Amino acid sequence: MTEQAVRVRFAPSPTGKLHVGSARTALFNWLYARHNNGTFILRIEDTDQKRSKSEFLTDIYASLEFLGITADEGPLFQSQRLPLYQEQAKKLLDAGSAVQEEGAVIFRVPPGQVTFTDLLRGDITVDTTLFEQIVLMKSDGLPAYNFACVVDDALMKISHVIRGDDHIANTPKQIVLYQALGFQLPVFAHIPLIVGADRARLSKRFGATSVDEYRQVGYLPEAFFNYLALLGWSPGGNREHVPPQEIVQLFDLTRVKKAAAAFDQKKLDWLNSQYIKQLPVGKLTDLLAERLIAKGLIQAGYDRPRLERIAALIQDRMRVLEDIEEDHAFFFKDQPDYQAEAIQEHLKKDGMPKRLLELKDRLSRLASFDAKAVEELTRGFAAEQHLQAKELVQPVRVALTGRAVSPPLFETMAILGKPTVLSRLEHAATTLVNT
């Protein structure tokens, strides 16, 4: 007997944005298919016509594309498969296994027990008296979830049903329908849910929960793929940074843990920063330019060499791509957004306005405004004023960037350029100190 070909499916409903937990389910299915040279099918469960919306369908496509999850078959839409459900419901009606009540088709469940083997949890037994009847077709003529799911999985020849463990309660109901219709059972594997830091089910109270939100903030696809894959699965060796192509090679469904996986935002941020550090500067520049143009901070005909210098300077400091507009917008604005605490702490010290104006005057006479020349002059001036370097560097940092924390100051000054540096020093010494 030849081994059954691996065919798996991901079946989202277009009733909301693609949740991180659903994306992880899609990823595990896709990884299992790719690892086993199988087929990954995308099925859209859109029979809830009132809640299904085209914008959510677009989001599902975009989110899967972001993660690099491609379908071998589909998308297939349940709303276009109504005759198939009607045909299978008629079989059960004709066999006397189902009856019509008030326009709905109801399956009467024989008393007994259902035992199935879950690939992760072993044998699970359920008493069918817990669900004495199952709706097959609703009175509006549309199939109920469990019935449509069984018909689709059977006719699509799904070999492995890999889904969240919140579906365990549905499985025995589906098994009695498989048996009544004479369909071969697939292998079931119920993966644990994702929980927040407090071990409660992941929800909006803990921040972003849709893939789109993470994409918008600027997590790299490879990093997010890597992180989702390691939520409940491990390649072994306590490894955390595992490239997607290697994850495909290593993925083993039997190594998925039974316990719920905790979503650790700090770990995701760290992992994303590692992927950002590995990007070629040119690629990072492209990604930053796309964001900055969208935010109106630079124009389409931007100064590419300058942005590459900025990208190289901040690359090791970045957590997400959004950091460019959140923490480094001072590179692109006429004036920085000044932090009031930083002004109070660093600019309003006795004698500081005078020192900033003197530094401005000396910097104006520099023939070369590169980082080395700027650093030598600034440190020399600090020593002359009997100051520790940081006692001058910090006020200058605030004057130029608006913040008490920034990329290395002298490289920042060189990128900002002499006119901008001189203008901001004067503004800080004459205007900010009086605010």
What positions carry a catalytic annotation?
Answer: 204
Contact call for residues 136 and 106 (beta carbons, < 8 A): yes
Determine the 3-state secondary structure of 191 from DSSP.
strand
The label of the residue with tokens 């594997």 reads 189
Structure tokens at 146: 């469990």
Sequence letter at residue 341: E
- The residues near 412 (Cβ < 8 Å, ≥ 6 apart) are 313, 331, 400, 401, 406
SS3 39: strand
Q: Exposure of 368 by Cβ count < 10 A (0-12 exposed, 13-18 middle, 19+ buried)?
A: exposed
Q: Which residues contact 230 (CB under 8 A, 6 or more apart)?
A: 240, 242
3-state secondary structure (DSSP) of residue 149: helix
Beta strands in 21-109 (DSSP E): 39-44, 73-77, 98-101, 104-108
Neighbours of 294 (CB within 10 A): 10
